[in-house]
Amino acid sequence: MLYFLPTHEYARIEGNVATIGISEFAAHQLGNVVYVDMPEEDDEVTKGEDFGAIESVKAASDLFSPVSGTVIEVNEALVENPRLVNEDPMNNWIIKVEMSDPSELESLLTPEAYEKVCEAEKH
Amino acid sequence: MSEDLKKTCLHDLHTGLGALMSPFGGFDMPIQYDGIEQEHQAVRNNCGVFDVSHMGEVAVSGPDAERFVNHIFTNDVTGLPDGKVIYGMMLHPTGGVVDDLLVYKRGDNDFFLVINASNIDKDVEWIVSHAEGFDVKIDHQSDHWAELALQGPNAEKVMADVLGLDGSDLGFYTFKTVGDIIVSRTGYTGEDGFEIYADAETIRKYWQKLIDAGVQPCGLGCRDTLRFEAGLPLYGDELADDITPIEAGLGIFVKLDKPEFIGREALAVQKAEGPARKIVGIKVEGQAIPRHGYEVLDADGKVVGTVTTGYHSISLDKNIAMALIDAKSAALGTSLQVKVRRKVFPATVIKKRFYTPNYKK
């Protein structure tokens, strides 16, 4: 299952684990990513609160977590090569989170609803 | 887009090129067309063109014009040759900066002032309100002039080939008038280049010719990364109503040996005593990028100032910043720290001219 926040983070759900990254739309809007500021393993994240930031040349954008839980993995490949996010953001995820409250997913956007958010931002 | 944002005469051409637009200085301006890095590299290595029509222009003439410009301006225009451009600031009596500007000397008691878009209303009011007792004519001409900046090592050739304007006879910080067009060898990128002032119709024609010839359109995004690398200040970041040119390290543009100008007394005292804070360059270790407003700490963790501009430098591939910090921590080589969100990163004071400009001699 795939969900989104209006702030352009996605959460791909497998079992109790959410794989979190940013959408194609956001990766394109940002331009070249030069740094991804990530939490560490075992850090707690909270739904709707920032867990890190993604930096392009121009600006730093906070990353918001779609779910609450514990970080079980960070994508170390982004440390050396943050531009992987530009190349394939849906596969080059940022963190994986063990969810503490899967019922939170109900309030996230479906891919169809998220598509409408992007359309609105284009205008 | 907010309805009260102004548009330059090239606005429709920017959106036609797919530019990312954003408010700047009261105008809806292009931030980037093809990406900040590509546009930045075009200016460093070849040539790029910027719409800078948002800049303001004020003509000052009349029998007392030279004396008046010297009254409101930190640099000295006394006996300046015709065709020279000079940089400096207008100051509050406190020494804080009303604006930084270019002054073009067109003839005896005939000056052309180029001011920042964000300060146009404030500056014009300031200039007019300090003209009492001077026999001068102040003509606010921002609505008449549009402006292009053609910047980069190939700017002279491109300007000649594409626009038929010869700049080979212009030295750095000089200008000439071709018909109703002003061409100056000036810029805000740390590269050789020209700024062209003309009416909207002419500027639209020039812009389209340059784009059709394959010249890279450049937005305000790379204008900021370029000027930052060259250590040039931006009003609102390194200069402000409460930051003096001495604090900003721009004392060479302040002629304290002039008999008088607004702000002179305050700056003379500050220069004699030494400023309590200074704009410095800093290099930050690690991948974190220092941004405007982030806290700068000393080695013990005490807050000593804030970042004024910071980037991952495109030309130098380092994380660097300008910061306004306590003078006690400002010596070259001083160990500092910068707070980037939750984490603190080590930093060192370095020279703030990060990139050595390639100006025409």
Residue of B nearest to A79 (CA): B287
Average pLDDT of chain B to the nearest whole number: 96
Mark whether B63 and B179 lie in a shared domain.
Answer: no
In a domain, B161, yes or no: yes
| C-alpha distance from B35 to closest chain A C-alpha (Å) | 7
For residue B32, name the pLDDT band (cuts at 50, 70, 90).
very high
Mark whether B108 and B130 lie in a shared domain.
Answer: yes
For A55, which of B35, B289, B314 is closest by C-beta distance?
Answer: B289
Q: What is the mean pLDDT of residues B235-255?
A: 98
In a domain, B355, yes or no: no
> Would you tell me which residues 15-34 of chain A have a C-beta closer than 8 angstroms to some C-beta of chain B?
31-32, 34
B240/A28 Cα distance (integer angstroms): 34
CATH number, domain with residue B257:
3.30.70.1400
Q: What is the mean pLDDT of residues B312-337?
A: 96
Q: How many helices (H) and strands (E) does chain A have?
A: 4, 9
Mark whether B208 and B346 lie in a shared domain.
Answer: no
> Is B71 a residue whose pLDDT tops 80?
yes
For residue B3, name the pLDDT band (cuts at 50, 70, 90).
low
> Is B1 a residue whose pLDDT tops 60?
no
Mark whether B160 and B105 lie in a shared domain.
Answer: no
CATH number, domain with residue B281:
2.40.30.110
How much is the pLDDT for B286?
Answer: 87
Determine, for residues B289 and A32 on separate chains, whether the beta-carbon distance falls below 8 Å: no
Answer whether B327's CB lies under 8 Å from B274's CB. yes
> Is B304 a residue whose pLDDT tops 90?
yes
Q: What is the mean pLDDT of residues B161-168?
A: 98
> Would you tell me which residues 88-117 of chain A have a C-beta closer than 8 angstroms to some C-beta of chain B?
none
> Is B342 a residue whose pLDDT tops 90?
no
How much is the pLDDT for A32?
Answer: 86
Residue of B nearest to A33 (CA): B312
Contacts of A82 in chain B (CB under 8 A): 287
Q: What is the mean pLDDT of residues B73-99?
A: 98
A77 touches chain B (CB under 8 A): no
> Is B249 a residue whose pLDDT tops 60?
yes
Contacts of A35 in chain B (CB under 8 A): 287-289, 312
Residue of A nearest to B19 (CA): A29
Determine, for residues A35 and B312 on separate chains, whether the beta-carbon distance falls below 8 Å: yes
Mark whether B174 and B62 lie in a shared domain.
Answer: no
- A85: domain range? 2-122
| C-alpha distance from A33 to closest chain B C-alpha (Å) | 11
| C-alpha distance from A43 to closest chain B C-alpha (Å) | 13
Among residues B340, B272, B283, the alpha carbon closest in space to that of B312 is found at: B283
Mark whether B257 and B136 lie in a shared domain.
Answer: yes
> Is B117 a residue whose pLDDT tops 70?
yes
B173/A58 Cα distance (integer angstroms): 29
Residues 6+ apart with CB under 8 A from B331: B349
Among residues B339, B330, B256, the alpha carbon closest in space to that of B291 is found at: B339
A53 touches chain B (CB under 8 A): yes
In a domain, B235, yes or no: no
Percentage, residues of chain B above pLDDT 70: 99
Residue of A nearest to B1 (CA): A123
B215/B155 Cα distance (integer angstroms): 10
Residue of A nearest to B317 (CA): A34
- B68: domain range? 54-141+244-266
CATH number, domain with residue B221:
3.30.1360.120
Mark whether B152 and B22 lie in a shared domain.
Answer: yes
> Is B323 a residue whose pLDDT tops 90?
yes
Contact residues of B toward A, CB < 8 A: 31-32, 35-37, 221, 225, 287-289, 291, 311-312, 314, 340-341, 343
> Is B309 a residue whose pLDDT tops 90?
yes
Q: What is the mean pLDDT of residues B245-261?
A: 97
In a domain, B271, yes or no: no
CATH number, domain with residue A46:
2.40.50.100
Mark whether B23 and B169 lie in a shared domain.
Answer: yes
Helices (H), ranges, chain B = 11-16, 36-45, 65-72, 120-129, 155-163, 200-212, 220-229, 264-273
Q: What is the mean pLDDT of residues B307-313?
A: 96
Answer whether B293's CB lies under 8 Å from A59's CB. no
For residue B165, name the pLDDT band (cuts at 50, 70, 90).
very high
Number of structural domains chain A divides into:
1
Mark whether B165 and B24 lie in a shared domain.
Answer: yes
In a domain, B234, yes or no: no
> Is B332 a residue whose pLDDT tops 80?
yes
Mark whether B249 and B129 lie in a shared domain.
Answer: yes
Percentage, residues of chain B above pLDDT 90: 96
Mark whether B115 and B220 lie in a shared domain.
Answer: no
Which residues of B247-291 form beta strands (DSSP E)? 277-284
- State the ipTM, two decimals: 0.77
B304/B204 Cα distance (integer angstroms): 47
How much is the pLDDT for B275?
Answer: 97
Determine, for residues B291 and A34 on separate chains, whether the beta-carbon distance falls below 8 Å: no
pLDDT along chain A (123 residues), means of 10: 96 97 92 92 96 91 96 96 94 97 95 94 74
B49/B213 Cα distance (integer angstroms): 11
Determine, for residues A57 and B314 on separate chains, whether the beta-carbon distance falls below 8 Å: yes
* Residue from B289, B343, B345 to probe the interface with A (highest A Cβ count within 10 Å): B289
Number of structural domains chain B divides into:
3
Mark whether B136 and B164 lie in a shared domain.
Answer: no
In a domain, B18, yes or no: yes
Considering only B41-45, B212-216, B260-264, B285-289, which range has the smallest mean pLDDT? B285-289
How much is the pLDDT for B360?
Answer: 83
